[in-house]
Amino acid sequence: MSQNTLNLSQKKAILLLEDGSRFEGIAIGKIGTVGAEICFNTGMTGYQEIYTDPSYYGQIVVNTTSHIGNYGVEDSEQESNAPKITGLVVNTFSQDYSRNTGHGSLQEYLEKNGIVGVSELDTRLLVRQIRDTGAMNAIISSEDLSDDELQRRLAEVPSMDGLELSSFVSTKEPYFVGDENSEYKVAVLDLGVKTSILTHLASRGAYLKVFNAKTSFEEMASWNPDGYFLSNGPGDPSAMDYAVKTAKQIIAEDKPLFGICLGHQIISLACGISTFKMHNGHRGLNHPVKNLVSGKSEVTSQNHGFAVNREDVENSDLVELTHVNLNDHTCAGIQVKGKKSFSVQYHPESSPGPHDSRYLFDQFINLFKS
Active-site amino acid positions: 261, 347, 349
d(CA 265, CA 262): 5
**Residue 27 Cα distances to 30, 57, 237, angstroms:** 8, 21, 34
Edge-to-edge, what's the strand order for the sheet holding 319-325? 175-177, 206-212, 184-190, 227-230, 257-260, 341-344, 331-336, 319-325, 275-291, 297-308
d(CA 330, CA 351): 22
d(CA 289, CA 267): 20
Size (the chain), residues: 370
Listed in sequence order, the residues at least 6 apart from 104 whose beta carbon sits closer than 8 Å to its beta carbon are: 72, 73, 97
CA dihedral 358, 360, 361, 365 (to 10 degrees): 150
Q: Which residues face 61 on adjacent strands?
A: 39, 88
Do 57 and 165 touch, CB atoms closer than 8 A? yes
∠ CA 11-15-16 to the nearest 5 degrees?
A: 140
